[in-house]
Amino acid sequence: MSDTDKDKLTDHEYDGIKELDNPLPGWWLATFYITIVFSIVYYAYYELGSGPSLDQELQTKLEKIEEKQNQAEMKQPDPGNVDYSQLLADNEALATGKDIYMQKCAACHGAQNQGVIGPNLTDNYWLNGKGTIADIAHVIVVGVPENGMPPWKGMIKDEDIPKVAAYIKSKVGSSPAGAKAPQGELIEE
Amino acid sequence: MTASQEKVKVQYDDQIVRMFFHATLFWAFAAFTAGVWIAFELAVWQLNLNTEWLTFGRLRPLHTNAAIFAFAGNAIFAGIYHSSQRLLKTRMFSDMLSKIHFWGWQLIILAAAITLPLGFTQSKEYAELEWPIDIAVTLIWVIFAINFFGTLARRREKHMYVAIWFYIATIVTVAVLYIVNNIALPTSIAHSYPVYAGIQDALVQWWYGHNAVAFFLTTPFLGLMYYYVPKAANRPVYSYRLSIIHFWALIFIYIWAGPHHLLYTALPDWAQTLGMIFSIMLWAPSWGGMINGLLTLRGAWHLLRTDPVIKFMVAALTFYGMATFEGPLLSIKSVSALGHYTDWIVGHVHAGTLGWNGFLIFAMIYYLVPKLWKTELYSKKLATTHFWIGLLGTLLYYISMVVAGITQGGMWRAVNEQGQLVYPDFVETVTRIVPLYYVRGIGGALYLIGFLLLLYNVYKSISMATEKPTDEVAEVINTNVKSEDIGTGHRKLEGMATAFTVLTLIAILVGSVIEIIPTLSLHKYVRNDVQVEPWTPLELAGRDIYVREGCYTCHSQMIRKMPSEVLRYGPASTIEESMYNRPFQWGSKRTGPDLARVGGKYPVTWHYRHMINPREIVKDSIMPNYPWLATEKIDYYALRKKLSIMKYLGVPYDDDTVANADLVAGRQAQEIADGLIEFGAPEEVRNKEIIALISYLQALGQKGGLSEEDKEGGSE
């Protein structure tokens, strides 16, 4: 034990343990005071003063996001005017479409699009729309929630949805084994 | 003074210390093994061997309870029994009570180890044990308290050393926390509903949960640190004044910090803000303990190179400092927004438990073995190897989880220029971090291997002992006599055990009362114009299955007030939505997505197939299969009792529904089963638990509780 330590020794002793009477470290005390002052100010501003509540903060942030969504929507071409037929010749697009289909859709529509919970997608019978790529894309986006088809907007990237639709279209007429009985209206092409 | 100078012989009860010591080693092995196992289950779900008893949801509570109450608990008792007798210069008050304490505690752990895998749980974290075991815990704790305070009354040392202060705070506060959080009404010998609902239950639970960390994993360990660090280093404690200030500041402030587990939730803002600011103010008081420990070792640094005990102590104190810096940081609202529900929190906890609690216990073990068995440590080198392997394991664990947490948290909240989620598909954020689950598992395995080295070392050390272990006899001078100068100010208080204990109790009650009492009048927070339907009998049965399976260990049911959450899951959760929920199921970890509004998102057949085998629907899912839900029958007969208790607790069921709960449930089950069978489920699915569970899942978010404005806050 150094001499300075000896000077600071208290007369306490417990089972051989002695205690020094060093002062509280200044930086430690300063930290403590700063956190206390910060806390008082913080509480006063948010809970007693004019600080926004969590609900208000959320509202403001949501409004900003909504604005972005609206702007993005305005920039998008009107889907009714786009010709998707070139996608049927785009192997890369079809492959991406197939990937997404296998991950997200096969559980309900079957790995061969033959239909399980959801309808058979390889026949010419359609419950929704007339089976064009744009129509299929539309069902994918909005879903038929009341009948068990989830809406996929936001879950699949906007630019990928036509690719999934094109993949489905490319399989129409493939007549896989065990296909589900037709549902909906027969659409002659 | 002459009379007091006479020496008295005291024989300490070291046998009880050795018993708790053995129990510590035994349960450490169980707790660590369970931990490593479930760590790998998150990477390879099949490790649950497709049995219900070993699924993640049931084993995780087993791991946490074993680590906290069995491993740390037995170590605390060993240390308290060993150090208190010496600090108070007297044998424990009653050998009989010591033995009852020991065996009672082991039986409780055994009961936990059996009931948790069987699915008997209250689902409140670190308070999962069902009510009969809770009563046993309370009784044994009272016995421990009588034994401890009896010893204190008979002490031969006028003043109480700082370690004793921390032990007092531990015993008093754990009693208050445990009893208040576990108040519940039984529906059977193995099941109960808490008296608190929704935000009350959440607040009380996290007041408890956070202070289990504070008063089970912090205060007793600081007490042990204050005894074993100066003993092992043979150095005086750095600052007596610092001990006083940081002790009182710590226990007074800690008790308020619980709501930092509930930031951005439906809990009223004022309570959240209190939780955050008290966590920030807790930083300095926590570091007070670390500084006092490390500066006590000042001048003994040369031992750091040679003595494994000192190595473990320095690392333990450093991890304590790290974790208590990170804690306040994570309590800042904006940091919590990123870290909460992710693996970052899991990493944070393990910096504390593996680094601080574990390493301090290992230091204590290596220090105690030679003393308790009058032998030498078999191999310092082996102990040093243990240190390095343990350190590497802890660092791998910590770093992998912090990286996983920040990665996943960042993916959840990423919103692009079009105002849409960048990673809308939840499972994408899971597959990204699965490699890190392997790294974490390896970290845990290394920690376990290090511990096996300790076991071997202890075994060899004990077998080297030449005589039978005995109780140490010491000659002490009794200073606890009237004539002794008691001192002034705090020094005087240190001589007054009862006054000290009462002041401690007051210090921890202030924050508790101010935070909890207002929310007990829940009606003040519930909006009158918002309607909520209670669960139907079948949904309630499903909810109890959800609790039993521990789905809350992977799923939250609380959409926070953050834009990315609203985009992903729908309008933020409200107070009203959980007002009938006993126990609340907000969860604390999202290994899977939030389920607060999953009702109606998918058809029933989706859920059926997903529960039987999630990978059939979501290829990369890491959720376990639950095939037994399709073979076990719904317990319709328990429902009448369950509903009547819910009604007694204030849930608005009409008498008819209560009286015919089983029939009402049966009818609803039939409808769901018809739907499933139509889509190819086997006829046997009728009246099976999976039907009840699906009815509950489909009702989530569909029971009202949103005002028109709340709905507009939604994603549409």
* CATH classification of the domain holding B206: 1.20.210.10
CATH code of B666's domain: 1.10.760.10
Chain A residues lying within 8 Å of B419, measured CB to CB: 65-69, 72
Residue of A nearest to B265 (CA): A54
Are residues B375 and B486 both part of a single domain?
yes
Instruction: Report the percent of chain B where pLDDT is more than 70.
Output: 99
The ipTM assigned to this model is 0.93
Are residues B577 and B459 both part of a single domain?
no
Chain A residues lying within 8 Å of B417, measured CB to CB: 68, 72
Whether B2 shows a pLDDT value over 60: the answer reads: no
Give how many domains chain B has, as a whole number. Answer: 2
Report how many Cβ contacts below 8 Å link chain A to chain B: 162
In a domain, B670, yes or no: yes
In a domain, B6, yes or no: no
Contact B299 A1 (CB under 8 A): yes
pLDDT of residue A3: 63
In a domain, B518, yes or no: no
Are residues B509 and B547 both part of a single domain?
no
In a domain, B525, yes or no: no
Are residues B499 and B571 both part of a single domain?
no
In a domain, B1, yes or no: no
Residue numbers of the domain that contains B554: 537-712
pLDDT of residue A178: 86
Are residues B558 and B497 both part of a single domain?
no
With bands split at pLDDT 50, 70 and 90, how would you rate the model's confidence at B395? very high
The beta-carbon contacts of A77-85 under 8 Å, at least 24 apart in sequence, are A79/A134, A79/A137, A79/A138, A80/A134, A82/A134, A82/A162, A84/A132, A84/A133, A84/A134, A84/A137, A84/A162, A84/A165, A84/A166, A85/A133
Are residues B563 and B452 both part of a single domain?
no
Whether B5 shows a pLDDT value over 80: the answer reads: no
In a domain, B520, yes or no: no
Residue of B nearest to A24 (CA): B242
Average pLDDT over residues B666-675: 95
Contact B237 A155 (CB under 8 A): no
Of A30-34, A128-132, B281-285, B553-557, which gets the smallest average pLDDT?
Answer: A128-132
Chain A residues lying within 8 Å of B284, measured CB to CB: 28-29, 31-32, 35
Whether A151 shows a pLDDT value over 90: the answer reads: no
Chain A residues lying within 8 Å of B274, measured CB to CB: 43
Average pLDDT over residues B483-490: 83
Of A33-42, B47-56, B341-350, B417-426, which gets the smallest average pLDDT?
Answer: B417-426
What CA–CA distance (Å, rounded) separates B624 from B55?
Answer: 7
Are residues B61 and B155 both part of a single domain?
yes
Contact A19 B420 (CB under 8 A): no
Best A9, A17, A27 member to test B by mutation, with max B CBs in 10 Å, is A17
Of A81-90, B466-475, B665-674, which gets the smallest average pLDDT?
Answer: A81-90
What are the pLDDT digits (tens) for B228-266? 999 999 999 999 999 999 999 999 999 999 999 999 999
Q: Is the peptide bond before A182 cis (omega within 30 degrees of 0)?
A: no
Whether B715 shows a pLDDT value over 50: the answer reads: no
Mean model confidence pLDDT for chain A: 88
Q: Give the per-residue SS3 of A83-152.
A: CCHHHHHCHHHHHHHHHHHHHHCHHHHCCCCCCCCCCCCCCCEECCCCCCHHHHHHHHHHCEHHHCECCC
What are the pLDDT digits (tens) for A62-114? 999 999 988 887 776 655 556 788 888 999 999 999 989 988 888 789 889 99
Question: Six-digit token pair at A186?
Answer: 């027969």
Best B281, B283, B325, B525 member to test A by mutation, with max A CBs in 10 Å, is B281
What are the pLDDT digits (tens) for B104-133? 999 999 999 999 999 999 999 999 999 999
What are the pLDDT digits (tens) for B359-374? 999 999 999 999 999 9
Residue of B nearest to A34 (CA): B281
Is B280 in the A-facing interface, judged by CB distances under 8 Å?
yes
Say which residue, B258 or B600, is predicted with more confidence: B258
The answer for residues whose C-beta is within 8 angstroms of residue B584's C-beta and 6 or more apart is: B196, B197, B198, B199, B201, B202, B205, B578
Are residues B648 and B680 both part of a single domain?
yes
Query: How many Cβ atoms are within 10 Å of B588's Cβ, its own excluded?
Result: 18
Strand blocks (E) in B103-261: 184-188, 191-194
pLDDT of residue B571: 95
Is B156 in the A-facing interface, judged by CB distances under 8 Å?
no
Chain A residues lying within 8 Å of B562, measured CB to CB: 58, 61
Best B80, B199, B227, B241 member to test A by mutation, with max A CBs in 10 Å, is B241
Are residues B671 and B599 both part of a single domain?
yes
In a domain, B599, yes or no: yes
Are residues B490 and B563 both part of a single domain?
no
Contact B231 A16 (CB under 8 A): yes
Are residues B502 and B628 both part of a single domain?
no
What are the pLDDT digits (tens) for B17-46? 999 999 999 999 999 999 999 999 999 999
Chain A residues lying within 8 Å of B230, measured CB to CB: 17-18
What CA–CA distance (Å, rounded) separates B559 from B273?
Answer: 18
- Tell me how close the Cα of A187 comes to any Cα of chain B, in angstroms: 26
Are residues B587 and B454 both part of a single domain?
no
Chain B residues lying within 8 Å of A59, measured CB to CB: 713
Angle between helices A26-43 and B269-281 (to 10 degrees): 170
